[in-house]
């Protein structure tokens, strides 16, 4: 895995070979982003099968590991979705070797399927980019929040997939990148990804988006999601909701790139989705490249102040112009989602 905590200043690759190391990597955000933490949890569940000697031992180990891994982070539904798939594959297989094979195959399938979903989201979203580009004779300006790029998704990204494809096809694009305090996934990760791909971009403070919208400098907003309820409410990185509100006030389309692995069909009302609250020190301190080399962490807040660190918020479905999924584009409604995923009627 790339240990994303070190980007963009160093590319550090980490070997994870125990369930515990996978748990820590997810919880401490060495790996992050909804599809990637799902894939990581699936690999962690597979690792749990490798230190046992009996079929019963494999079952017990994977059940225990899946329960444990699900505690690593609460909001992105991909984590539980992927870990459960590996557990179910193991429980359905017969025999020791077959169970281990089933775990490995399930984890690999999740990885391959996420790649496909992201690639297809790119193709579906390209229609939106091409239509918007046809309406203007200047570079298209897209605002994104957090990192919904390949770092978050193994490859392509969700929100970035259409952007990369549009850029590769020669469309003139420019991306406004919200810095995304406090972990700065936009400033550190999205900017690094876009730069490496040659996509013109500008990092802005989290509060600048509304101002740019009022000045006509944003054509549309394109973000990812950690969990979308069947009614179309979008739980994503903190600050997404404010961008959606500002976009609505300025008649700017607000799109959500949504792999089906991020849909929680069991939830309609988003108030039951757990919103992760992280260590307040992520707000108190900021970390970056030190002028003398290496990284430095500096305190921003006064010593006596307390801080709260809500990691996600809910954007109501009515503020979302449309979902871009691997099967096409649909309205942010239950019927819109079910029209693309009719098999969900059984869930
Ligand atoms: O806390 P993070 O960095 O894991 O949050 C990630 C996001 O909020 C992304 O926007 C989301 O996972 C969609 S990525 C495809």
Is the model's pLDDT at 294 over the cut of 90?
Answer: no
**Residue 119, pLDDT score:** 98
Cross-strand bridge partners of residue 13: 2
- How many A from CA of 94 to the centre of ligand 1? 36
* Nearest atom in ligand 1 to 276's CA: 1
List every span in the chain annotated with CATH 1.20.120.420. 4-114
What spatial distance separates the first Cα and last Cα of the chain, rounded to whole Å? 33
The pLDDT tens digits of the residues spanning 258-289 come to 999 999 999 999 999 999 999 999 999 999 98
List every span in the chain annotated with CATH 3.40.50.10470. 127-346
- Minimal CA–CA distance to 44: which of 13, 72, 18? 18
- How many A from CA of 237 to the centre of ligand 1? 6
| Overall size of the chain counted in residues | 347
CA 38, CA 262: separation in Å to the nearest integer?
Answer: 10
Q: Is 184 in the pocket of ligand 1 (CB under 6 A)?
A: no
pTM: 0.97
The pLDDT tens digits of the residues spanning 120-175 come to 999 999 999 999 999 999 999 999 999 999 999 999 999 999 999 999 999 999 99
CA atoms within 13 A on the CB side of 237: 25
The residue annotated as part of the active site, out of 226, 249, 269, 281, is 226
The pLDDT tens digits of the residues spanning 70-103 come to 999 999 999 999 999 999 999 999 999 999 999 9
Going by pLDDT thresholds of 50, 70 and 90, the confidence category of residue 10 is: very high
The pLDDT tens digits of the residues spanning 33-61 come to 999 999 999 999 999 999 899 999 999 99
| CATH numeric code, 127-346 | 3.40.50.10470
The conformation of residue 9, written as its DSSP 8-state character, comes to: T
- H/E run at residue 109: helix 96-134
Domain with residues 4-114, CATH architecture: Up-down Bundle (1.20)
Q: Is 193 in the pocket of ligand 1 (CB under 6 A)?
A: no
Probe residue for ligand 1, chosen from 29, 146, 158 as the CB with the greatest number of ligand atoms within 8 Å: 146
Q: Across the chain, what does the average pLDDT equal?
A: 97
Task: Give whole-number Cα distances, 252 to 36, 39, 59, 178, in Å.
Answer: 29, 33, 50, 17
- How many A from CA of 218 to the centre of ligand 1? 22
């Amino acid at each position: 895995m790339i240990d994303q905590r070190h980007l963009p200043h160093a590319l550090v690759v980490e070997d994870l070979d125990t369930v515990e190391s996978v748990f820590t990597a997810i919880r401490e955000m060495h790996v992050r982003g909804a599809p990637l933490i799902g894939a990581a949890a699936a690999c962690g569940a597979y690792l749990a099968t490798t230190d046992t000697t009996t079929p019963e031992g494999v079952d017990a180990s994977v059940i225990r590991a899946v329960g444990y891994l699900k505690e690593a982070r609460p909001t992105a539904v991909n984590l539980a979705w992927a870990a459960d798939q590996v557990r179910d594959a193991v429980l359905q297989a017969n025999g020791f070797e077959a169970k281990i094979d089933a775990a490995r195959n399930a984890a690999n399938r999740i990885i391959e399927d996420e790649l496909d979903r992201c690639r297809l989201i790119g193709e579906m979203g390209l229609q939106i980019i091409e239509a918007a580009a046809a309406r203007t004779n200047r570079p298209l300006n897209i605002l994104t929040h957090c990192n919904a790029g390949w770092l978050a998704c193994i490859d392509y990204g969700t929100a970035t997939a259409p952007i990369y494809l549009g850029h590769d096809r020669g469309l003139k694009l420019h991306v406004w990148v919200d810095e995304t305090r406090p972990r700065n996934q936009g400033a550190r990760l999205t900017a690094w990804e876009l730069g490496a791909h040659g996509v013109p971009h500008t990092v802005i403070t989290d509060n600048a988006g509304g101002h740019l919208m009022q000045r006509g400098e944003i054509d549309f907003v394109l973000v990812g999601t950690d969990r979308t309820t069947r009614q179309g409410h979008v739980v994503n990185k903190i600050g997404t909701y404010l961008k959606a509100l500002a976009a609505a006030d300025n008649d700017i389309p607000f799109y959500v790139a949504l792999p089906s692995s991020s849909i929680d069909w069991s939830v309609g009302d988003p108030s039951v989705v757990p919103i992760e609250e992280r260590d307040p020190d992520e707000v108190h301190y900021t970390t970056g490249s030190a002028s003398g080399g290496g990284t430095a962490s500096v305190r921003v807040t006064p010593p006596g102040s307390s801080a709260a660190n809500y990691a996600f918020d809910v954007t109501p479905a009515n503020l979302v112009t449309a979902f871009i999924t691997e099967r096409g584009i649909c309205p942010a409604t239950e019927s819109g989602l079910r029209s693309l995923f009719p098999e969900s009627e059984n869930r």
